Amino acid sequence: MIDSLIDKDWVEALWLILDFALAVLLLGLAAAAVGTRDLRRGIALFIAFGLLVALVWARLRAPDLALAEAAIGAGVSGALLLAALRDVPPSGLPSVGARGLPLWLLNLGSVTLAVLLGWALLLALAGSDGIRLADLALANLEHSGVSNPVTAVLLNYRAYDTFLELGVVLAAVLGVLALGPARRSVRPAGPVLNSLIRLLLPLLIVTGGYLLWIGATAPGGAFQAGAMLAAAAVLLRLGGDATAGLPGAVGQRWLLALGIAVFAAVGLGVSTGGGAFLAYPHDWAGVLILLIEAAAMLMIACALALAYLGGRPAGWTIGDREGG
Amino acid sequence: MTNLLVWPVLVPLLGGLATLLAPRLANPLGLACSLATLGAAAALVVVFADQGPMILALGGWAPGLGIALRADGLSVALLAMSSLVGLAAGVYATGYFADPDVRGRFWSLWLLLSAALHALLLSGDLFNLYVTLELLALVAVALTALGGGRAALEAALRYLTIGLLGSLVFLLGVTLLYAGYGTLDLVGLAGALRPEPVAWVALSLLTVGLLIKSALFPLHFWLPPAHANAPAPVSAVLSALVVKAAFYMVLRLWFDVFDPALTQAAANLLGVLGGAAVLWGSWRALRAERLKLLAAYSTVAQLGYLFMFLPLLLALPPGPSRDVAFGALVLLALSHGFAKSALFLGAGVIQQRAGHDRIADLGGTARALPVTTFVLALAGVALIGLPPSGTFLAKWQLLASAIETGQWLWLPIVGIGTLLAGAYCFRVLGHAFGPSDRVGAALAVGGEEIPALLLAITATVVLGLGAAGLWEFLALGTAFDGGSR
């Protein structure tokens, strides 16, 4: 009895030390990533920062966020930043922060803002009655069609937000396509990378499918699954595949439209009986959510892969020959 | 029947997908979808005039757990303007882009922009408002970059950075409110809000985020390059609608959600910034060398007038006098929307015909492009605030409210701003009617001049003469008071 109590205290103390170390590291990495003048170094630090944030989310018992942060915040964003870095001319970028407000003023402003925000947040948490939407969300979980509360919020209670977020993804891709033709293909990879890709590719695709499926009951979902597929596309591209595994331009257009189209079709379909837009019937909710998530996953993967290519792949411009 | 509220969002969104899939048919598809969007908006106007405010609980979940769409006089009026301006600028755009590839992407983004604007106007949920704001900003950036030139890309990048900064500040405010009050539904928040530091800090964050997006002086610096470098139909919508969406949110949050926490000092501060915007924007417009830059600075000034209404509205007691001032504010926003889009489309016509939009070299325009010159004059009437434009009535009401509340400061600002507006409009017309070495072309009306003409007539004549109806429309009640009537 006493032994177990001591054990528990020890474990608590260890976690506390770990949390403290995480917090200090997080601040240190953030400061280093912002402070460095070397872009490559800054990106490496930023990726490390993202992984650490994922750990923090895990410690805060938000595994969905931890997964999303690791896959998208650190993984895909890191890959995009590194790809963008290759576009920097050898002469380098004009140095940042040389113009405008002096640095000390910016720092002072940021610190003041942070203190003010922290104070307001403390007041808000102390002054509120503690009633949040989480209890309500859990109470309605059995009517939502899924048992993972995060998925219930994203695809049922607040599905409209996610619906519009897919519009944000589409807008971002259309912005990327406006930039010009895609980056030139990299040279074919060596044998070591090639065999690694051969190993990783099926694993990534299966993981994506697993994350999509498990999203109904446990952490996972379309965004994380889409990021996995996009990672597969990035690997293919690094291996020398110019198309990054994407279908032809027409296929890409359909993939991009798919996520929103399926979402809208389901939303409208369930409202034909006189219900509200996106009001899934109880028995069908789980299936419909999976359908929407599958379409969204494909769209997100295609969008992220196109963003990695950094412009219009061959065949996008009308008049170009299809394929590439 | 309540599902009527999703159609102004869904129609353009699905239209955007259709033009993405069939880029070769982008022009006819895009026009058909713009027309259908206008139809959805018109249906909303008709039903609203008949039944009053509408609410739609999406997904069948109660507002709070779920998201509610809400429509009242303000949102429906702005929605109608947005779909009209969108259609007119879309018609103009059918002949604007020569490259079919750019045209296809233009239409997808254009319809997405409509969807984003309408989603924003109909949203009744604070986080959902953030999502719509983000969607709107990204689409606007992509549209600015559409030209693909260096200047356009630079302006787009600056626009993106500033927009993200505004969104982030706004999101901080949203987070703080959720931490303090445990709900995101606007009506729920309005009921829970107390005048205390949390509400004040949150209101400041939300407002600063929106001020960046609505380009209130001194946060306006990103607007002139972005609006002047975008393709003409895009500039028209950015200036007429997108910045106004952020102003709509300020209005919505201040008077429907934060009413108990407002202070006159805060409203006065925004009013003073608005006054500074009027003076500075008009002055820069007068000094501008290019027509599109003039129009962009004029937007900075006209937004200033909108913000000058805030201290007046707050000082007026709730009731008829506040309602009258509020109606004048909406009338000013609508008139500016139509007039500014007409001005930008007119500038686009001149730029395409003459190959430039330098004001000093506009000589002979009156002869070569009489209709477009007429558009510039009509838009000028609405921008200056001459009768019979809606702006005249709105400014009259602004002055009356200033006198009623004893806020004398606004009187000279309105006077100087109006004189400056007169100066910059007549400067353009003076050059346009000036002589030219070139032999003038035949007096013919180009099809691309028609949309601008219709917009200018709406701003100057229709809104001015039909203004009384707007007040009745706005008086039909609000959907933001906890339940539909």
- Contact present, B72 and B47 (Cβ < 8 Å): no
At residue B459, what is the residue type? A
Share of chain B above pLDDT 90, in %: 65
- Name the residue with tokens 């009027």: B278
* Residue numbers in B near A117 (CB within 8 A): 172, 176, 201
- Contact present, A310 and A182 (Cβ < 8 Å): yes
CA–CA min distance A48, chain B (Å): 22
* Pair of tokens at residue A26: 């997080």
- Contact present, B359 and B103 (Cβ < 8 Å): no
* Pair of tokens at residue B181: 């009050």
* Residue numbers in A near B66 (CB within 8 A): 157-158
CA–CA min distance B298, chain A (Å): 26
Question: Residue A35 pLDDT more than 90?
Answer: no
Question: Residue B31 pLDDT more than 60?
Answer: yes
Which of A131, A253, A256 minimises the CB distance to B182?
A: A131
Which of A157, A253, A254 minimises the CB distance to B59?
A: A157
Distance separating alpha carbons of residues A178 and A310, to the nearest angstrom: 10
Question: Residue A1 pLDDT more than 60?
Answer: no
* Residue numbers in A near B12 (CB within 8 A): none
CA–CA min distance B79, chain A (Å): 18
Region of poorest pLDDT, from A172-176, A184-188, B67-71, B323-327: A184-188
Residue A324's pLDDT band, with cuts at 50, 70 and 90, is: very low
Question: Residue A98 pLDDT more than 90?
Answer: no
Question: Residue A11 pLDDT more than 90?
Answer: no
Q: What spatial distance separates the first Cα and last Cα of chain B, rounded to whole Å? A: 15
**In 3D, which of B121, B70, B80 has the Cα closest to residue B249?**
B121
- Within 8 A by CB and 6+ apart from A28, the residues are none
Interface TM-score (ipTM) > 0.90 = yes
* Residue numbers in A near B60 (CB within 8 A): 275-276, 279
What sign does the CA torsion over B388, B389, B390, B391 have? negative
- Contact present, B289 and B427 (Cβ < 8 Å): no
Question: Residue B54 pLDDT more than 80?
Answer: yes
- Within 8 A by CB and 6+ apart from A203, the residues are none
Distance separating alpha carbons of residues B48 and B472, to the nearest angstrom: 12
Is A133 close to B64, i.e. CB distance below 8 A?
yes
The average pLDDT across A203-209 equals: 95
Tens digit of each residue's pLDDT (9 = 90 or more) over B355-381:
888 998 888 888 888 889 999 999 999
